[in-house]
Amino acid sequence: MLEHPILIILHRSDSIIKIVNISPITLEGRHVVLSPLTHAHAELLVAAASDGELWNTTVTIIPDSNGITSYIEAALAGQSRGKELPFVIINKSSNEVVGTTRFYEIRSNDRAAAIGYTWLAKSAQRTPINTEAKLLLLTHAFETWQCVRVELITDVLNEQSRAAILRLGAKQEGILRRHLTLPSGRIRDSVVFSIIDSEWPEVKARLAAGLEAHPE
């Protein structure tokens, strides 16, 4: 498989062909660095997940030491197909890996992508880290890739995630019934949210204001 996917066309008109490289990139803000996920991050991610024993959650999939290798391999396989772009989340103040996030279901012809697989160590939750990570990802999607739609999908039972997505300014579209089967065997319903390009300026301003209100 290709380590770095080929250039993918995201936008075409009569006179313009917009070509974007779906390949590993580092995104950096004031509080956080989003760095390309690699196998070298395995132990650091396990350490982050151990802060709060996040693997015990029933509303998302967070790997422990036994599952981290396959978790990373699946993300990198999606990256090799040009369908995913996974990151580790690094707290700039401590230079520690505190979680992970990714673009997935990248649909070049539709100029659309999803953001998900996001989790943070307990000590990094309810801090500016998640807000700035979302700002960096959404800015890349709408302003570099020129997406017209970004999706965020979460477990119907994950009230914390649903509230956080709504605070971004995303719109809830509906519920996918019996959407996924989790490792526990539970068949989950998933809630679909989206942000479209015309809404992006307002969402961007809201995220920026949130960071200014909570600078530390």
Grade residue 1 by pLDDT with cuts at 50, 70 and 90: very low
Enter the DSSP assignment of 143.
I
> Is 189 strand, coil or helix?
strand
CB 161 within 8 A of CB 155: yes
The H or E element containing residue 211 is: helix 200-213
The H or E element containing residue 45 is: helix 42-50
Provide the mean pLDDT of the chain: 90
Domain boundaries, the chain: 7-213
Distance CA 109, CA 8 (A): 9
Closest CA relative to residue 133, chosen from 46, 49, 36, 29 = 29
Closest CA relative to residue 164, chosen from 173, 174, 154 = 154
pLDDT digits (tens, 9 = 90+) for 157-174: 999 899 999 999 999 999
Rounded to 5°, angle at Cα 46 from 44 and 52: 115
Q: Between the CA of residue 184 and those of 58, 101, 181, what are the distances in Å?
A: 8, 22, 8
Res 13 pLDDT > 90: no
Q: What is the pTM of this model?
A: 0.90
CB 162 within 8 A of CB 176: no
Distance CA 192, CA 200 (A): 17
Beta bridge partners of 27: 34
Provide the pLDDT for residue 212. 86
List the structure tokens of 13: 């008109």
Res 72 pLDDT > 90: yes
Provide the pLDDT for residue 144. 94
Distance CA 15, CA 137 (A): 28
Grade residue 147 by pLDDT with cuts at 50, 70 and 90: very high
Mean pLDDT computed over 175-186: 92
CATH code for the part of the protein at 7-213: 3.40.630.30
Distance CA 5, CA 21 (A): 8
The H or E element containing residue 166 is: helix 159-168
The H or E element containing residue 85 is: strand 85-91
Range from 156-165, 181-190, 196-205, 207-216 that averages highest in pLDDT: 196-205
Provide the pLDDT for residue 179. 95
pLDDT digits (tens, 9 = 90+) for 95-146: 999 999 999 999 988 999 999 999 999 999 989 999 999 999 999 999 999 9
Distance CA 175, CA 201 (A): 26
> Where is average pLDDT lowest: 49-53, 175-179, 208-212?
208-212
List the structure tokens of 176: 């996918």
